[in-house]
Amino acid sequence: MQTSFDAQITAIVFDAEGAVFALGDGSVRFEDGTFSAAHDGAILCAVVHPSGNGVITGGDDGRLIWHRRADAGALATSANGQWIDAVDASAESGLIAFSAGKILTVLDAKDAGFRRDFQHERTVSGVAFEPKGRRIAASTYGGVALWFARIAEQKPTFLKWAGSHTAVTFSPDGAFVVTAMQDSQLHGWRLKDQKNMRMGGYPSKVRAFSFLSNGQLLATSGAQGAVLWPFVGANGPMGREATEIGFDEGSLVALVASQPKHGLLAAGLNDGRVWLADPAGQGLNFLKADKGSPITALAMSADATRVAWADEDGNAGVATV
């Protein structure tokens, strides 16, 4: 499928039925042509609903909205109408988390009355649930705050590392937390002893990272190829070198997408191309071989059989792999 939209696509996700495109004009477009326009302003972040039905979006109107093909409704609003910068959801626990300014908010998809607000000293840049969905990591300046998702009164565990952390993720086994940093590197912590992991050497800022191959590899953007860090054994990438696939001196990998239980990796380049590869195999399969505007959104379906992408000019595609 190839299509184009009048606004830039800010995020793509796959729900149980297909690809879903979130746009800068505040609308959501489903692959089947269904349209939802519930935001008064741009959509800044998106995630699949814990049920697998539809997408949750956060906007610069301070609203968190659940869009389905036949319906859309607000789940929450941020304090003082602040922009909702990041969102995550857990199918395992049924919880939803979003950040607006210095506040991390947790909701329960099955209990409309449940809400927890966690205050931070600095702006929260990213949120991520652990694999079981019971704890949440919030990246901020100076490190990561770890919260128990359901407990109202608590002090977070703070993983310290100087600098601005812009995004966060857990390893699929829950043993490591990894952040992207403003100064073109990753940082990580092994949770059992809070041992630091420095993961540098990037020529540009890392905008995306994603685990694959049963959590044994972490793929990232930010270089001329897709960078792969090994997460095998109790030490993860500590003391080990990263590898790179799809190296091309004339381009940069802008985004990567994968699924933790599968071995395929998709990459979107700053020259408009999109490729798919198996790090254990040979060569690249170009899903979009024509050069053009930079790829600004990329997603892989949960079963790793489909990839969707979009570029800066609003052109989008979905391919079965």
Q: What is the pLDDT, as a whole number, of residue 177? A: 99
Which tens digit of pLDDT belongs to each residue from 62-81? 999 999 998 999 999 998 89
Q: Is the pLDDT reported for residue 314 higher than 90?
A: yes
What is the set of domains in the chain, with CATH numbers? 203-321 (2.130.10.10)
Tokens coding 107: 């909701």
Question: How many whole angstroms separate alpha carbon 256 and alpha carbon 23?
Answer: 19
Give the mean model confidence (pLDDT) for residues 233-245: 94
Cβ neighbourhood burial of 217 (10 Å; 0-12, 13-18, 19+): buried
Which tens digit of pLDDT belongs to each residue from 130-173? 999 999 999 999 999 999 999 999 999 999 999 999 999 999 99
Residue 5 CA neighbour count, 13 Å, CB half = 26
For Cα atoms 22, 25, 29, give the angle at the middle one, nearest 5 degrees.
35
Tokens coding 289: 């071989």
182 residue type, one letter: Q
Which tens digit of pLDDT belongs to each residue from 13-47? 999 999 999 999 999 999 999 999 989 999 999 99
| Helix, strand, coil distribution of the chain in percent, nearest 5 | 0, 55, 45
The H or E element spanning position 243 is: strand 243-245
Which tens digit of pLDDT belongs to each residue from 174-196? 999 999 999 999 999 999 999 99
- Complete DSSP assignment for 287-318: EE-S--SPEEEEEE-TTSSEEEEEETTSEEEE
Is the C-alpha dihedral spanning 100, 153, 139, 129 positive or negative? negative
Q: Is the pLDDT reported for residue 281 higher than 90?
A: no
Task: Indicate left, alpha or beta for 293 from its phi (over 0: left) and psi (-120 to 50: alpha).
Answer: beta
Give the mean model confidence (pLDDT) for residues 248-261: 98
Question: How many whole angstroms separate alpha carbon 237 and alpha carbon 168?
Answer: 16
Which tens digit of pLDDT belongs to each residue from 99-114? 999 999 999 999 999 9
Q: How many H-runs (helices) and E-runs (strands) does the chain carry?
A: 0, 30
Q: What is the DSSP letter of 80?
A: G
Q: What is the pLDDT, as a whole number, of residue 156? A: 98
Residue-averaged pLDDT of the chain: 97
Q: How confident is the model at residue 221 (pLDDT cuts 50, 70, 90)?
A: very high
Q: Is the pLDDT reported for residue 284 higher than 90?
A: yes
By DSSP bridging, strand 209-212 and strand 217-220 are antiparallel
